[in-house]
Structures are given as C-alpha cells and as structure tokens.
Structure 1
Amino acid sequence: MSHLVLLAEADPDSWGRMTDDDRAAVMAGHDAFCEAVAARGKILGGQAVARQETARTLRTIGGLRQVVEGPYAETVEQLGGYYHVDAGTIEEVMELCRLLPDHYVIEVRPVVDIEDL
C-alpha cells in the first residue's frame, strides 16, 4: 500500500535563516529518509511546494465555482512538501519518517486505490 507523507512547517521562513551547515543537515535527513525508503520499497514521487500565498483555491460561492487567492484554510503550519512512498504499513512508514528533519510536523495518510481509475 502506498502512503502520502505530508511535511508541514510551523516556520516556513526558517530556511532563509539557516546556516549552510544547518541546511546540509536538513538535506541529510531527507537523503537518509529516501535511502531507507528505497531499502524497503520505493518513492513514487515527491516535491517541495511553493509558499501558501501562491496558492489558488476553487470554491463554490453562491452556487458558482470561483477561484480564490490563497490557501483553503488558515493554519498555523504550512505545507512545505510531500513524498509519495510505497514502503509497507503505515506504522513502518511512520518509523521511516523519524529520519526526516525534526522541524517538520509530519502527517502520513494511506493512498486509497479507486478501482478502474
């Protein structure tokens, strides 16, 4: 079963304040996660995402579908990126996620296979 690993950040501006050594440590955590997933399964995809102020949301307002600037909801944490992995059970994926940098709040969800899609 595949899982989506969502990486949220409480302080999305922290990258700009990090030293080169701090950034290298963050990237080392990502590398360790990717290597561990590859040893147990595979990474199906993943990317960093742009900041929330670049988002557009499609809402139904008064029966009409309208594009609204900004994210779906106001949150303390902002989505910073994701991985789509196939590496065992949700418990196993959660254990692998411990390798990611600890400044992320990590949410893992099973991906639902919809028959015939």
Structure 2
Amino acid sequence: MLNIKKSFKYLIIATVILIIIAIIGKRLGWFGNENEFEINTEKATKRTIVEIITANGKIQPETEVKISSDVSGEIVELNVKEGDEVIKGDLLLKIKPDTYISGIERMEASLNSS
C-alpha cells in the first residue's frame, strides 16, 4: 500500500511538471503555432496610389489605312514618318516630275500634229 501511495505521489508530481512544461512551451511558441503568421498592418490614410504595370505585347492601331498612289515614280521628298498623324490635304511626299513632264510634252506634240 505504501508503494502505491508513493507511485501515486510520483504520478501527480510528473503530471504537474508536464502541465507546467506545456504552459511554458505554449507561451514560448514551441508548439501550437503552425497556422500563425506575421501580418504587417498600417493605419488607413488618404493618398495617391501609383500603379506601374510592365507588360509585353503588340500594339495595334484602332484604324489602319493603306495608302497608294495613282501614279508611279521616284520619291524625291518624304514629308512624314511612320507613326505621324496626318489629316486630309497634308502633303505626304513628292514624286519626281520628269516622267509626267515628258508625257505631257508627248501629248501636246500629238495634239499639235493632228
């Protein structure tokens, strides 16, 4: 009987020690913190938010216009560059007039000979 009382006394002491270790371990974070993570917070204030987005891609125009000439010839002056905005009536380029001048002279000669 005395041996059982001694065993029971040791069992109670061991249980109390385990409970104390569990309480200390919980406070020190030894266990029970698997789902905890640190969150940084800040007081809400009104301010301008600057958002910068970097992306790769191809820019397509809203409207694409192909320009062609009714006449052919050598371009002697180009007044616009690719990407420039133009309006109706703007001079885009000049074509060397030699071909057309000789054509006009031939027509006038044939008109005079008839």
With the shorter chain as reference, the TM-score category is under 0.3
Specify the structure having the higher radius of gyration (Cα): 2
Taking structure 1 as the reference length, what is the TM-score of the superposition? Answer: 0.21
Q: Which has the higher contact order (CA 8 A, sep 6+)?
A: 1
Q: Which structure features the higher share of strand residues?
A: 1
